[in-house]
Amino acid sequence: MLYGLIFGTIGALIVGGLLGFYIATKIFKKQMRENPPITEDQIRAMYTQMGRKPSEQQIRQIMNMMKSQGGK
């Protein structure tokens, strides 16, 4: 009887930890998709600080690269 209680508690903790990790990972990935760590304006500012005038194609290319890396 005591063993069942101990194993049940340990099993519940393991399942809860795995479930919590899975949910936290999904939420984190969703937030990163919706709020990327860098915006197009920030990319423009970086190019300007380097003394270059970025084209829209370059900005889109960088944003697409960041989005493809974020999904990994």
Tell me the DSSP string of 29-54.
Answer: HHHHHHS-SS-HHHHHHHHHHTT---
Whether 44 shows a pLDDT value over 70: the answer reads yes
Contact between 40 and 63 under an 8 Å Cβ cutoff? The reply is yes
- For the entire predicted model, the pTM comes to 0.56
- pLDDT tens profile 3-12: 999 999 999 9
Supply the pLDDT for residue 15.
Answer: 97
pLDDT reading at 28 higher than 60: yes
The H or E element spanning position 24 is helix 2-34
In angstroms, the CA 44 to CA 40 distance is 6
pLDDT over 90 for what percent of the chain? 60
Mean pLDDT, the chain, as a whole number?
89
